[in-house]
Structure 1
């Protein structure tokens, strides 16, 4: 049910420096109908979704808090922050909370996602950074092009690689 993931990258490395390595390990997750990825070394663990205690007067992207093995963890609604809307119902059976490494983020924070698909290594040449916005505040680091073979034809699945540190920003409650 809970799979701890260990962080091994120094907290001083910037998001763009992390992509410069030959390979990048990522956690792929689903939000609505799209697939996103974040750097594995920003993740402490992945846990099953549990009931969230809502907090009054909190921003829309803060769902509330949960007790995670005796520690209070703020739950961040990444769909709300990215303006992805909500299709109405959360499938609690598949929903997961990706708990971010508090050494990198600075505090205990989990992001609610529809499902965690896998943890994988991505070769640098599979990351298209030309599709990233040139804007200073852009949270998109690049687009991962995963080769697929569908009905004998070559294709690729597009995965949006995001900078989770920029997305959560100052998400404290």
Structure 2
């Protein structure tokens, strides 16, 4: 099963500078669209404009002499795509292990990665739109260890008639990939 992000969200074709330019011109309301996913028990998000598609797990061919966070490569419709285990890269240890077969692969837009790259996550929960007012950028200490975190999205939800605020860690996948020295 392949879920095309661009079909459901036509603005997803706008990446990088084009999106930022439209934001500056005010043609996009002060909203952010993200793909929400799980790594362990924690909720994360990346910019929708950095995503090409979401695919189900497929057999990954391991590559020799690569860092542990590089799971290997897959053949995605005739294109060799490097798969990065985001949980391993970000040192996230889960209380419950998710079987690879239950994982998802978020294929990144190759215009930002300059190569075919997918990130392996435990599950993809949704594509969501948030107001920039829901993003807390002050909660993140500006250190090199967390420079890939853009901010914390405060998502209001209702569980059993009780309002709760779910915290989603919004990461800058471009910055995170820039720190990865991958050989594939």
Normalising by structure 1, we get a TM-score of 0.89
Matches within 5 A, 1:74-93: 74-87=82-95, 89-93=97-101
1:4 corresponds in structure 2 to 4
RMSD, aligned α-carbons: 2.4
- Residue 131 (structure 2) pairs with residue 126 (structure 1): no
Find the aligned partners of 2:34 and 2:169 in 1 and give their Cα distance.
11
Deviation at 1:76, TM superposition (A): 0.2
> Contact between 1:26 and 1:37, CA under 8 Å: does it hold in 2?
yes
- Residue 108 (structure 2) pairs with residue 100 (structure 1): yes
Q: Deviations over 1:13-65 (max 9, x none)?
A: 698x97x9511110000000001000000000000011110001001110100
Deviation at 1:124, TM superposition (A): 0.8
Higher helix share: 2
Find the aligned partners of 1:168 and 1:85 in 2 and give their Cα distance.
20
Q: Deviations over 1:83-124 (max 9, x none)?
A: 113557432443100000000121100000000000010111
Matched position secondary structure for 1:148 = strand
Deviation at 1:70, TM superposition (A): 0.4
**1:153 is matched with which residue: 154, 157, 162?**
162
> Contact between 1:133 and 1:140, CA under 8 Å: does it hold in 2?
no
Find the aligned partners of 2:133 and 2:67 in 1 and give their Cα distance.
38
Find the aligned partners of 1:87 and 1:59 in 2 and give their Cα distance.
23
Q: 1:63 to 1:126 in 2, by over 3 A?
A: same
Matched position secondary structure for 1:107 = coil
1:166 corresponds in structure 2 to 175
Aligned length: 172
Which ranges in structure 1 are unaligned for 5 or more consecutive residues?
Answer: none
Compare 56-65 and 86-95 and name the one that shifted more.
86-95
> Contact between 2:40 and 2:96, CA under 8 Å: does it hold in 1?
no
